[in-house]
């Protein structure tokens, strides 16, 4: 197992909830990023909820005692129908997460969450 795969496994097991919380905050702060149509934005009718995510790509750069991580996740997002108009749905989106972790994997910090642009 190479160092990057080891880092991915540790991040997934030890810091799952920190990434989950960061994505959830992003969904609540920027719901307009998930509009299907420019004329009708579902943010008026829905709240977004994160069901689950998985890491699909991980890039790492070590600078002194800190690993700087670029994490690409595939997030399963549910639109929560708050006006009961019958438009329940889920979708899968790729998101980009920037994070830092010390080389002993004790201190983890999500720096930024955003849309993944390939």
pLDDT tens per residue across span 67-111: 999 999 999 998 776 666 666 678 899 999 999 999 999 999 999
Stretch 1-29: mean pLDDT = 93
> What residues does 90 pair with on adjacent strands?
78
The tokens of 35 are what? Answer: 């509009």
Domain extents in the chain: 3-115
pLDDT tens per residue across span 31-53: 777 765 544 455 455 678 899 99
Contact (Cβ atoms closer than 8 angstroms) between residue 49 and residue 78: yes
Distance, CA of 55 to chain centre: 9
CB atoms within 10 A of CB 57: 14
pLDDT tens per residue across span 59-75: 999 999 999 999 999 99
Long-range contacts of the stretch 34-38 (C-beta < 8 A, 24+): 34/77, 34/91, 34/93
Contacts of 51 (CB under 8 A, 6+ apart): 76, 77, 78, 90
């Amino acid at each position: 197992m190479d160092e990057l795969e080891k880092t991915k496994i540790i991040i997934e097991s030890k810091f799952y909830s920190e990434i989950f919380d960061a994505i959830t905050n992003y969904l609540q702060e920027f719901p307009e990023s998930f509009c299907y149509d420019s004329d009708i934005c579902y943010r008026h009718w829905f709240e977004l909820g994160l069901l689950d995510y998985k890491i699909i790509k991980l890039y790492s750069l070590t600078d002194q005692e800190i690993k700087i991580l670029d994490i690409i996740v595939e997030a399963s997002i549910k639109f929560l129908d708050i006006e009961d108009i019958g438009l329940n749905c889920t979708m899968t989106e790729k998101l980009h997460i920037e994070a830092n972790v010390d080389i002993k994997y004790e201190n983890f910090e999500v720096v930024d969450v955003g849309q993944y642009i390939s």
